[in-house]
Amino acid sequence: MWPSVQRACLIVLLSSALGLVVNLVSPKGIPFITPPKLLPKPEELITLEQAREQWSGGLGFFLDSRAPDDYAAGHIANALNLPADHFEPHWAEVAALLAPDTPIVVYCDGVECELSHRLKAKLAELGFPNVKILQNGWTVWRTAGLATEQGARK
């Protein structure tokens, strides 16, 4: 049994080395050490209280960065759906409503969810700097008993 165990270790070591070399030369290579997660800076976030004030004031827009199915199942009232993963097909419709200085709140669901961060980055590229992230937005909004609605995009 022992020679097989040694050989098995050798197989793993050699193929790992091969993988590392291939990754180094491949155009699709990824960093050996996973880069840290995109953590939002505090100034990019908006608190639930601030978001609620902005919402009641009717200022700006709330953008739901989740997939259309999740949006249809329930979202913050009056929020528009702009899925971060299918940005292009939805963008024109939303863009027509926005001015560069429009205050925008983006959200998705779950502490780990990165959709809203990605959406914020895309909006920044397109010249919309006034975007805040409501972290774990759908859950905190809903559990606070604030206004929600269901249904697909209007």
- Give me the residues that bind another protein (CB under 8 A), please: 1-8, 10-12, 14-16, 18-20, 22-23, 26, 28-34, 36-37
Nearest approach in angstroms of CB 79 to another protein is 23
Nearest approach in angstroms of CB 1 to another protein is 7
Tell how far CA 55 is from the center of its chain: 21
Spell out a b/e string for 31-45, using b for 16 or more CB atoms within 10 Å of the CB, else e.
Answer: eeeeeeeeeeeeebe
Closest to another protein by CB, 11 or 124: 11
Closest to another protein by CB, 6 or 78: 6
Closest to another protein by CB, 18 or 73: 18
Nearest approach in angstroms of CB 14 to another protein is 7
Closest to another protein by CB, 20 or 59: 20
CA dist 132 → 61, 102, 110, 125, 147 (Å): 11, 11, 16, 15, 19
